[in-house]
Structure 1
């Protein structure tokens, strides 16, 4: 039975689930429900989440407001969310995230498929997040967004990022996996990813991996870039799994890498984004005895085949 404890001040349709696994669909300007509520999902348009939209929901552990055309979330939209660990605001129209919006109890935060361009400094401060989803937005630069925060897995794929500074993720504690696939990254400063286990950089515009520096990486995905040769093989010996195809590899350089991989037991193969086609199974380019203009032509044709 639902007790009249919560008052929702913004009218929308909500699906409310309780610990007894009963569900109620409410369509009213004032929603009242009890402390047994653990899951709430909005099911119609919500333009702005005002302060104190949700109150007295001490047992709520998940809040879903998706596909609701939501444009703004204001600090204090939920009061005293002692048990809230999952917020899903994906597939809305959020363009910025303000500081003070999210609570310290969160472990999963989904903000993908919005219109995000900026996030206020300290928006994620003092939060321990196992999973932060920021993919498929309009992010082009990352400022001082990640201060005094713990994030284990970060998704920034499908954005407009062009470069990364070495201090971009420095203040994130515990970061193990980061996904930066499908951006426009051309330049990364050395030692940007010193303590990560998995790094996904497929479908960018990288010509080398000199940015690695010191690394404890176990998996690196660099498929669908512009890489033709590794300038140094030394750093590669520490990586357990390299996803290097497809790229416009120089065949001689690739042969040298194969020998190294066999010697050190390095696993290698196709990018996780690679979908095999009959006309795209090219491994490398023969670059001997051709001038730079012809080489560039070969590389452009190679990439055209791969991306089409």
Structure 2
């Protein structure tokens, strides 16, 4: 009789707490205590019920067109949420409310065009946010304000047209920002003021027609800066000065770039890799940072091989790197490689600066 009573009690408890006992149907669980719930391509159209102790939930390749407010409020223990390829169109205000332990959020490869300014409310621990390959037209002001610990923001391959002042308010610890392959025509002054500690900044493949000097002038420690495939014709004086002593990699290829102003590289003291391939450059400024360069890509430019480029040739002669670069002129040197041509034979070496005390 006692055994029967115990069996009935356990049965009632099991019926009352199915979430804590069973893995959601069409999903599989591992990690002990249902900590990892994998519902990859499971045919789901509603969010599954999961145990509160679940740490990782993988919902990739299911169908969730709208993420409504409080969609995840019962999932308080989640640290990692994967929702790639879920045909999400809209993320409402407060959609992720309650996920105060969430560190990783993957929303890549969806159809998101509508995102509420309060969509990320309460995500104070979120560190990695992936929203690439969507249809987002703008980053709403205040969207990132709750994300005090955001480190990586992946926003490439969307349809963002401009970056406004205040866009990144609150995300003061952001270090890696990817805005590649959007439709950005304007970066407003002050738009990056709150994220002055960016180390990686990629804004290649956009529609910027002038270098956004006012927007980037507050950046302090950018190491990897990529602006390729923007229709910018001139790189102005002091373009990289605010972060030049940290910048190690600079990509300015495929831009139809015509000119570097004479003081464009002022303050650039640690550059190791420079890509200026596929432009309309004929010269480089006297202060180009040859002394630190290890890798230079400069093919497909109409180089004018006069003594103005002699410093480039000297760098090639003293470097392990011998990049392709063909002279477009003067006429007798047309078609010759910069590294081989005799165009610089009679160019004078620059006089070495005398040190104090050298006078006799």
Shorter-chain TM-score bucket reads: 0.7 to 0.9
Distance 2:19 2:121 in 1: 18
Give structure 2 stretches of 5+ with no counterpart. Answer: 1-16, 21-26, 48-70, 336-360
Which piece of structure 1 moves more, 208-217 or 131-140? 208-217
Q: TM-score, normalised by structure 2?
A: 0.66
1:201 corresponds in structure 2 to 252
Match of 1:106 among 138, 150, 162: 150
Match of 2:328 among 266, 285, 294: 285
Deviation at 1:285, TM superposition (A): 2.2
- 1:141 matched to 2:186: yes
Which piece of structure 1 moves more, 187-196 or 258-267? 258-267
SS of the aligned residue for 1:260 comes to helix
Distance 2:18 2:217 in 1: 46
Q: How big is each residue's C-alpha offset from its partner over 1:174-219, in whole Å with a ceiling of 9 and x where there is no partner?
A: 2221111111111222111122222110011222322223312232
1:236 corresponds in structure 2 to 289
Give structure 1 stretches of 5+ with no counterpart. Answer: 5-13, 271-281, 299-308
SS of the aligned residue for 1:183 comes to coil
RMSD (CA atoms): 3.2
* Higher relative contact order (CA closer than 8 Å, sequence separation 6+): 1
Q: Which has the higher strand share?
A: 1
1:304 corresponds in structure 2 to none
Q: TM-score, normalised by structure 1?
A: 0.76
Aligned 8 A contact 1:162 1:187 in 2: no
Alpha-carbon distance change, 239 to 266 in structure 1, aligned in 2, over 3 angstroms: farther
Q: 1:81-100 residue pairs with structure 2 within 5 A?
A: 81-100=123-142
Which piece of structure 1 moves more, 155-164 or 62-71? 62-71
Q: How big is each residue's C-alpha offset from its partner over 1:22-79, in whole Å with a ceiling of 9 and x where there is no partner?
A: 3235531655434144223154333321111112212322112223211122222133
1:118 corresponds in structure 2 to 162
Distance 2:266 2:240 in 1: 8
1:41 corresponds in structure 2 to 83
Alpha-carbon distance change, 240 to 108 in structure 1, aligned in 2, over 3 angstroms: same
Aligned 8 A contact 1:96 1:120 in 2: no
Deviation at 1:93, TM superposition (A): 1.0
1:302 corresponds in structure 2 to none
2:65 corresponds in structure 1 to none
1:152 corresponds in structure 2 to 199
2:280 corresponds in structure 1 to 226
Match of 2:238 among 187, 191, 198: 191
Which piece of structure 1 moves more, 38-47 or 121-130? 38-47
1:78 corresponds in structure 2 to 120
Aligned 8 A contact 1:98 1:119 in 2: no
2:314 corresponds in structure 1 to 260
Match of 2:300 among 234, 246, 249: 246
Alpha-carbon distance change, 159 to 20 in structure 1, aligned in 2, over 3 angstroms: same
Aligned residues: 271
Aligned 8 A contact 1:201 1:221 in 2: yes
SS of the aligned residue for 2:289 comes to helix
Aligned 8 A contact 1:17 1:40 in 2: no
Alpha-carbon distance change, 247 to 43 in structure 1, aligned in 2, over 3 angstroms: closer
Deviation at 1:94, TM superposition (A): 0.8
Distance 1:204 1:182 in 2: 5
